């Protein structure tokens, strides 16, 4: 009598399979390529910039695109293309840092709310709803007024504004699973609550949360760009997409290339991350696959 052993695909094989399915459509290929380019440029920004992004060259100020300066120069003669690359690094740092911390806080609090007694659940829900009901613009202006405009202030604003959504999503997912048969079987076998949450609940809820987080990345980048455009975000001379847009807006009658350079990355990343999240949802959600 022969025994047939069915091997489960490894984690890397599953990731490779998801990438293959993602790239099977033109929109999925486009979104994956733009997101990959965003990460590569952000990580290698310090090594691929052709010029110093804060070096002033008044003689070449507001010059148009050329072989030396692909996207021209700004009002101080700084290379716009180099500033755009360094701005990608700042956008990547903000997106990864703030979304990751908000995810961790949301996952932990969401699990606590769903797997503890009713009073703790009620208290955490009150905290989530209170934070979400506070106007985002007023909260952002309050943080900036207290701590001043900086990258860290933007990180705090994004974390506090987004973690309640993740926590509520995790709470809903956990509550739908905590009475499932395989969870009851683990309880009957004497598994502790922390083991159940870590090994059986978390792997089943992390997928939808990551999809939502990927679709929130454009929101994070947009918040930074908007605050920097208003002079309340990244402080000059540090380049960011928002400061590039602000410089282009001030001198739009002299040259339109600066506005184009600052606006195009925002549009591409917004479309790419949104499309990537929707494509991943279609691939990973069993109901949509059917």
What confidence score (pLDDT) does residue 14 get?
Answer: 67
Q: Is residue 232 part of a domain?
A: yes
Between CA 168 and CA 106 the distance in angstroms is 8
Q: Is residue 195 part of a domain?
A: yes
Comparing CA positions, the residue from 210, 240, 236, 237 lying closest to residue 223 is: 240
Banded pLDDT at 12 (limits 50, 70, 90): low
What confidence score (pLDDT) does residue 5 get?
Answer: 43
| Cβ-Cβ contacts under 8 Å for 226 (sequence gap 6 or more) | 233, 242
The residue range of the domain holding 158 is 45-289
Instruction: State mean pLDDT over 36-47.
Output: 92
The domain total for the chain is 1
* pLDDT tens sequence across 47-67: 999 988 888 888 888 888 888
* pLDDT tens sequence across 166-193: 999 888 888 887 777 777 777 777 777 6
Mean pLDDT of the chain: 83
Q: Is residue 34 part of a domain?
A: no
| Cβ-Cβ contacts under 8 Å for 26 (sequence gap 6 or more) | none
Peptide bond into 237 cis (omega under 30): yes
Does the pLDDT of residue 6 top 50, yes or no? Answer: no
Banded pLDDT at 285 (limits 50, 70, 90): low
- Residue position matching structure tokens 């949509």: 288
Q: Is residue 30 part of a domain?
A: no
Q: Is residue 13 part of a domain?
A: no
Q: Is residue 178 part of a domain?
A: yes
Q: pTM for the full model?
A: 0.83
Angle between helices 241-250 and 257-284 (to 10 degrees): 140
* pLDDT tens sequence across 187-245: 777 777 677 777 777 777 887 888 888 888 888 888 888 888 888 888 878 888 888 88
Under 8 Å between Cβ of 110 and 171:
yes
> Of 78-82, 129-133, 175-179, 234-238, which gets the smallest average pLDDT?
175-179
Between CA 244 and CA 258 the distance in angstroms is 7
For a pLDDT cut of 90, what percent of the chain falls above it?
A: 16
CATH, residue 97: 1.10.3720.10
Between CA 128 and CA 241 the distance in angstroms is 31
Q: Is residue 234 part of a domain?
A: yes
Q: Is residue 9 part of a domain?
A: no
């Amino acid at each position: 009598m022969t025994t047939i052993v069915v091997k489960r695909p490894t984690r890397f094989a599953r990731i490779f399979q998801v990438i293959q399915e993602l790239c099977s459509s033109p929109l999925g290929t486009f979104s994956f390529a733009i997101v990959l380019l965003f990460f590569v440029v952000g990580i290698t920004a310090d090594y691929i910039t052709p010029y110093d992004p804060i070096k002033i060259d008044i003689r070449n100020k507001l010059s148009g695109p050329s072989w030396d300066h692909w996207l021209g120069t700004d009002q101080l003669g700084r290379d716009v293309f180099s500033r755009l690359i360094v701005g990608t690094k700042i956008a990547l740092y903000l997106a990864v840092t703030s979304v990751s911390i908000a995810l961790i806080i949301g996952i932990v609090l969401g699990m606590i709310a769903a797997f503890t007694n009713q009073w703790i659940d009620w208290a955490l829900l009150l905290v989530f709803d209170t934070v979400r009901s506070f106007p985002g613009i007023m909260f952002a202006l309050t943080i900036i007024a207290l701590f001043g405009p900086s990258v860290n202030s933007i990180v705090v604003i994004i974390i506090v504004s987004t973690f309640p959504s993740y926590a509520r999503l995790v709470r809903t997912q956990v509550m739908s699973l905590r009475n499932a048969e395989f969870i009851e079987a683990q309880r009957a076998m004497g598994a502790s609550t922390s083991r159940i949450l870590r090994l059986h609940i978390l792997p089943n809820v992390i997928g939808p949360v990551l999809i939502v987080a990927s679709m929130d990345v454009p929101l994070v980048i947009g918040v930074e760009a908007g605050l920097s455009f208003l002079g309340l975000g990244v402080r000059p001379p540090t380049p960011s997409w928002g400061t590039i847009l602000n410089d282009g807006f001030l001198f739009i009658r002299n040259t339109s290339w600066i506005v184009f350079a600052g606006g195009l990355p925002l549009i591409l990343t917004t479309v790419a991350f949104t499309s990537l999240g929707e494509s991943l949802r279609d691939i990973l959600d069993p109901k949509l696959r059917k």
